[in-house]
Copies of this chain bind each other. A is one copy, B any other.
Amino acid sequence: MNTEQLFENIKRKGSYLCVGLDTDIRKIPRYLLDATDPVFAFNKEIVDATADVAVAYKPNLAFYEMLGVQGWSSLEKTVNYIRYNHPDIFIIADAKRGDIGNTASMYARAFFDHLDFDAVTVAPYMGEDSVKPFLTYLDRWIVLLALTSNKGAFDFQFMEDKATGEKLFEKVLKTSSQWGTTENMMYVVGATKAEELAGIRQIIPNHFLLVPGVGAQGGSLSEVSKYGMNEQCGLLVNSSRAIIYASDGEDFAEKARENALKVAAEMKEILKLNKLI
């Protein structure tokens, strides 16, 4: 999927919602545990209930790897299910990988060839050759960690460069934006720091940003959109727990849809306000 197609989907649905499929087998409704593949059964219902109001899904790999072979199988089934039944959806592997060139190529194959993800999240610590191998796939993306929304973000990401005064996350944005284009790179920018988005938009005005942390982690959608939105929307705002765990009963998918609709309705207003729809 390219930027134009993604923006078309956002306009058509009036939504830039990404639903995080952080499916924890210990948190899904208990009756699903009787299914052959409880995690896939849960994801399937969540996806079918929300696919018309979400533009992206983002399984976090940790939740699948925790279950070993079975988890990896649930992940494959989930990606394939979304791809075939909801082909307009952008699918992000939240894997936060990052390794040297040769190995990065393997990860690219894992996520783009073997699995059919549109994008994979990547950590910047190891630099250019850990990122480049992902950028050789047409219409596939990396989403590079820049500024994360957790407390630990303050340990290193705000360190200031002696030479330029830039913070590490700013240097990551500036340096890495030269490695690819706005057609194969997005960035993770934490929502609990909405005011930073203005500065980030000065460095990378045109890239799409994946904003985690709206919902359970407490970010404000209107703040994030105010500082982060650009002419092609430029935002995918993620919500995981607030949507997928809206209920732990048999109505979990219905309640997930209700919560997704609430977020999407707010997004529609913001898109209108910004004259994008």
Q: How many residues of A contact B (CB 8 A)?
A: 58
Whether a CB of chain B sits under 8 angstroms from the CB of A128 is yes
What mask results when residues 58 to 70 of chain A are scored 1 for a CB within 8 Å of chain B, else 0? 0010110111110
- Which of A10-18, A105-113, A224-232, A251-259 is found at the contact surface with chain B? A105-113
Query: In the complex where A66-B114, A103-B62, A128-B151 touch, is A168 in contact with B157 (Cβ < 8 A)?
Result: no
- Please tell me how many copies of the chain the complex holds: 2
Q: Which residues of B contact A162 (CB under 8 A)?
A: 159-162, 165
Q: Which residues of B contact A268 (CB under 8 A)?
A: none
A107 to B68, CA, bound (A): 11
A115 to B161, CA, bound (A): 40
Query: In the complex where A96-B97, A98-B96 touch, is A156 in contact with B124 (Cβ < 8 A)?
Result: yes
What mask results when residues 78 to 105 of chain A are scored 1 for a CB within 8 Å of chain B, else 0? 0000000000000000101111110110
Whether a CB of chain B sits under 8 angstroms from the CB of A118 is no
Instruction: Indicate if the CB atoms of B110 and A128 lie closer than 8 Å.
Output: no
Q: Which residues of B contact A160 (CB under 8 A)?
A: 161-163
Whether a CB of chain B sits under 8 angstroms from the CB of A155 is yes
Q: Which residues of B contact A152 (CB under 8 A)?
A: 100, 126-131
Instruction: Indicate if the CB atoms of A172 and B156 lie closer than 8 Å.
Output: yes
What distance in Å separates the Cβ of A108 from its nearest Cβ neighbour in chain B? Answer: 9
Whether a CB of chain B sits under 8 angstroms from the CB of A175 is yes
